[in-house]
Structure 1
Amino acid sequence: MKIMLIEDDPSIFELIRERFSQWDIDVVGPEDFQQVMDTFEKEQPELVLIDIQLPAYDGFHWCREIRFVSKVPIIFLSSRDHPMDMVMAMQMGADDFVQKPFHMEVLIAKVQALLRRTYTYQEQAPEIIQWNGAQVDYSRSEVSLNGEKMALTKNELFILRVLLSQADKIVSRDELMRKLWDDERFVNDNTLTVNVNRLRQRLEEIGLEEVILTKKGLGYMAVTL
């Protein structure tokens, strides 16, 4: 596996590169922070780690640029702790947000879980199901209805898949978090809320309204209309 680390602090970059090499994960980074996309296209990493505060353009800019061309998993690393930073990261298509300073074991666990989840599903045969008149294509990470298509991030697709596997039944937040991250100790509760809300908004954009319900104090439910 290869990940791309967009981080301008050399000490942090080398620490992450060294620790991840122990897990047979190569870490590459841009030499020129104005040409990040050139490195991304050349290296074709399986996952991207991005700091927010960078020379020239910030991490949000590069997340947006990567999302234009790829669905590769993206994790933000940042010392900024304002809730809006996490919201912006998720809205732009990031899969997780890790605040600095972080425990290296937690970061490694998150990266490994996201890599497993992403590429295990990609290796499966194409799979399309019908739901409320829409087509959910797991292989393409998209939902289509009446000619309208909506691409989903890996987290959004995973959440939808879990909910649809138990359609019309309540799936608890704890169960979703365990399935998402393998171990709920590595979960930020806000991350799940942001991802479910964003999934609901995306489905509404193509006409699937009120199909993901929040059951207060219990969890979420994908309903069959």
Structure 2
Amino acid sequence: MYKILIVEDNKVLCNNIEEGIIKWGFDVISIENFENVLEEFAKHNPHLVIMDINLPYFDGFYWCKKIRDISKVPIIFLSSRDSNMDIVMAVNMGGDDFVTKPFSMDILLAKIQALLRRAYSYGSDDRQIIECDGAILNINDGTLTYNDKDIELTRNEFKILQLLMKNKGKIVTRDRIMRVLWESEYFISENTLTVNVNRLRKRLEELGLKDFIVTKKSQGYMIP
């Protein structure tokens, strides 16, 4: 089932869109926290976004650009603003389509279905992100984003963090992490793993993620 995220602060219109989309069997989520749309996007990891332009705090152009930094999912702009400049801005920020308010629900649904077919018809899925407590790991390029700051991770840093974020709330044993990092091709001392984890912790602190990884004595590590 495709998941669609609606970023629209007009409650009545948002509810109407949601009802119309659900009838076609889509899973729909509506944004409530307009102060950090990127975090909401990463948490829900949708297949498509419907984005209003006029929003509280920051406009839809801003959030489209932020989403494009970490994902290629289709984005449809909705707006009562229909000048050529607005449409050009929408495209330049990474939007895939533009629908002017007021609009026909049938037209919006047709555009949604067309974009979903185009994006996922060959089994590809560009929603390659993992989110934990506002930290967003981009699987495609190995970068980590938090509070509008990015860092590039090394191969080992990325593999450790990916494993821990996928298992948030669970202890991941040291043996399991070592198998993922070195695939048991030869013996690696546990001290080598400790060094790698400590380096990763320092990188996380650069972004303000202090104590993001917790050590469980004689067991392993976890993101609580």
Which of the five TM-score ranges fits, normalised by the shorter chain?
Answer: 0.5 to 0.7
TM-superposed deviation, 1:118: 0.7
Taking only aligned residues, the RMSD between alpha carbons, in angstroms, comes to 1.5
Mapped to 1, the partners of 2:69 and 2:124 lie a distance apart of: 23
The alpha-carbon deviation at position 67 of structure 1 amounts to 0.2
Task: Give the deviation of 1:121 after TM superposition.
Answer: 3.0
Does 2:119 correspond to 1:118?
Answer: yes
Task: Determine the structure 1 residue equivalent to 2:18.
Answer: 17
Question: In structure 2, the residue corresponding to 1:121 is in which secondary structure?
Answer: coil
Q: Which amino acid is 2:118 matched to?
A: R
Q: State the partner residue of 2:77.
A: 76
The one-letter code matched in structure 1 to 2:93 is M
Asked whether 1:33 is paired with 2:23, we answer no
Residue in structure 2 matched with residue 98 of structure 1 by the alignment: 99
Deviation per residue, 1:12-35 (Å, 9 max, x gap)? 110011111111112212221001
CA distance in 2, matches of 1:80, 1:21: 26
CA distance in 1 between counterparts of 2:100 and 2:107 reads 11
Take 1:4 and 1:31, find their aligned partners in 2: how far apart are those partners? Answer: 11
CA contact 1:29–1:39 (8 Å) conserved in 2: no
Shift, 1:122, TM fit: 4.0
Q: In 1, distance between residues paired with 2:28 and 2:112?
A: 12
- Corresponding residue SS for 2:91: helix
Pairing of 1:1-225 with structure 2 (within 5 A) = 1-123=2-124
Q: Deviations over 1:55-79 (max 9, x none)?
A: 0100000000000000000110000
Q: Deviations over 1:157-188 (max 9, x none)?
A: xxxxxxxxxxxxxxxxxxxxxxxxxxxxxxxx
Dislocated runs of 4+, deviation >4 Å? none
| Structure label with greater radius of gyration | 2
User: Which digits, 9 at most, give the CA deviation of each residue in 1:25-52, with x for residues without a partner?
Assistant: 1221222100111111111000001000
**Matching residue's letter, 1:60:** F
Q: Mind listing any 5+ residue stretches in structure 1 that lack a counterpart?
A: 125-139, 141-225
Shift of 1:11: 0.4
Q: Output the CA distance in 2 between the equivalents of 1:47 and 1:37.
A: 14
- Give the match's secondary structure for 1:71: coil
Q: Is the 8 A contact 1:17 1:26 kept in 2?
A: no
Give me the whole-angstrom Cα distance separating, in 2, the residues matched to 1:86 and 1:117: 21
What is the CA distance between 1:97 and its match in structure 2? 0.4
SS at match of 1:69: coil
Contact 1:47–1:115 (CA<8 Å) still a contact in 2? yes
Q: TM-score, normalised by structure 2?
A: 0.54
Aligned residue number for residue 216 of structure 1 = none
Partner Cα separation in structure 2 for residue 123 and residue 4 of structure 1:
19
Give CA-to-partner distance per residue, 1:81-123, whole Å, 9 cap, x none: 1110000110111100000000000000000111011101344
Cα pair distance change 1:123/1:81, threshold 3 Å? closer
What letter corresponds to residue 64 of structure 2 in structure 1?
C
Asked if the contact 1:46/1:72 (under 8 Å) is kept, the reply is yes
